[in-house]
Chains A and B, each alone.
Chain A
């Protein structure tokens, strides 16, 4: 198997430049010309991460190694990895692009993405580490019916992972097409292929280190960009804002909330999804099992919150920097759109998501552009790997080992199932990525957060803190949250009108994000059906709470660091 990874690595290497060259020759409209610096840096990143995967594969023998890196990740390293999971290409390019087009509205989004973390620290992180082993379903099923709750958790995890993965794959294809001049399908296959190699051979250890390296590179790159922008304005944000309001067509309106959030209920609903969705994302929750104990778990969220908050402040500066330096420079603008709209903001080559990429060129030239492009690609790779591992763990640990084998699965068989599941998810992600190429997938990340907030989070938090929770209550409430979130999104303006093409104003649900009612429905369902539950199972569920709570608070009996 190790030999195979080596062979694959060589094959990957050998094929990369040729793939790129072949694609560069095909004229693809918006496609960027071939950027050899970017490709060189990306190849270097892939070489380094494949080396790490080779090293990690040699140390990955047990299920604990595969799922949780043997519990050997430190709090600081895990903080970087969590931040890396969160600082996806969507948040780096998307938020800086949003600041570029709308100014202050971008900050409103960043704030929403960040505020879930304190809640994770206060209510989830330590409890998760003390009660669980590999997946968050270990916690929710601690005292409840194993079979039912594992199936619920697996459904919640897999649906969340699937939507998040499709959004990332489509974004990856589009971005790589623009950055490297690769064909869309090749980019998707490349991302899917590398992801399968990292996860199947290196498990959690490789996935974590790929994430850490990428997080460091991204933080350094963003710091340099924001620093270069501020340097041009004598480190005075006021001078930067003054120039930006002068050149932006919306003028000083970019310094206050704009049209992006117009309906108050929509704003609250989105806020709820972002805040509580964070605490229900399976690939994030899984990271708390990679550290030694509860103390390391809580420290890791503290570091992660710091890194993510710092990063969002940087993206705000980067977005404003792009308004000043990119929208005024015809080298970065599409001449025909500029002719029509007279607006540098609208005419940006490749769309607003390219604001940070063009800014890299503007402040650091071709070499830095190559660096940031390679980092953006690396970001996608690292995030999809984490997602694939979370999805595969749910299939192998929750469904195969706990439901099908009733907790008596052979460890090596379980790892094998997990690897097969990873390959299956990888192929599925590639196929879905290609199918959804020309669909608007922007709603999918919001949907993933809504499902995480409406199904995974309520069940998790109630199972940790509420003695009265029963298996039946968790099942009914959890599925109510899951189904209402999915249905709510389908009937929302973003999908009903924008994606399915129904006339404007015809969406049955006026909210773009269903979290407001789907979270309420989930909690209400969990409460009502638990209170009404008089079965023997319910008595066992409730009487198991005290022992669980003692372990949750003290960590006595928690899965050890290296052996389980």
Chain B
């Protein structure tokens, strides 16, 4: 890339939209993951008995679905990012390159 082309790209509204949308989605999803995970860790550290509450008459505790939820949420959040990026960002990048 030569010295001026990145200045030109920076002025491109497509580029500005790409950066704005990608950064806000990336940081928002990261924050959600942090909140979910450290929420779980804080429960483990400060309220282990809460995770030991039984569901119904059986021995299965509420901790099992909560743990599974954290695992599944990691996968789902990644999926949300990838599908957004595949549909929206790649089109914007193509437009920037075409200019």
Contacts and interface: CB of A to CB of B under 8 A. Distances in A.
B58 A241 contact: yes
A509 B40 CA distance: 25
Interface string A113-125: 0110111011100
Given A115-B70, A122-B26, A241-B58, A257 B75 contact: no
Given A115-B70, A122-B81, 7 more contacts: A108-B44, A112-B41, A115-B33, A256-B51, A295-B86, A546-B10, A556-B1
Interface string B13-48: 001001100100111011001101110111011101
- The dominant DSSP class at the B interface is helix
A268 B45 contact: yes
Q: Which A-B residue pairs are the 10 nearest by beta carbons? A: A256-B52, A264-B45, A257-B48, A122-B26, A550-B6, A547-B6, A557-B1, A107-B67, A255-B61, A267-B45
Contacts of B49: 256
25 contacts: A108-B44, A111-B70, A112-B41, A118-B29, A118-B74, A119-B30, A122-B29, A123-B27, A123-B30, A237-B64, A255-B52, A256-B49, A256-B52, A256-B61, A298-B81, A302-B78, A305-B75, A306-B75, A312-B71, A549-B19, A550-B6, A553-B15, A553-B22, A554-B9, A556-B97
A119 B25 CA distance: 12
B77 interface: yes
Interface residues of B, number: 56
B71 A114 contact: yes
Interface of B: 1, 3, 5-7, 9-10, 15, 18-19, 22, 25-27, 29-30, 33-34, 36-38, 40-42, 44-46, 48-49, 51-52, 54, 58-61, 63-64, 67-68, 70-72, 74-75, 77-79, 81-82, 85-86, 90, 93, 96-97
Given A301-B78, A557-B1, A257 B71 contact: no
A115 B39 CA distance: 12
Contact of B60 (A118, A255, A553): A255
A110 B30 contact: no
A540 interface: no
Given A111-B70, A114-B74, A264-B45, A551 B1 contact: yes
Contacts of B22: 553
A227 interface: no
Q: How large is the interface on A (under 10, 10 to 19, 20 to 34, 35 or more residues)?
A: 35 or more
Nearest to B36: A115
A268 B97 contact: no
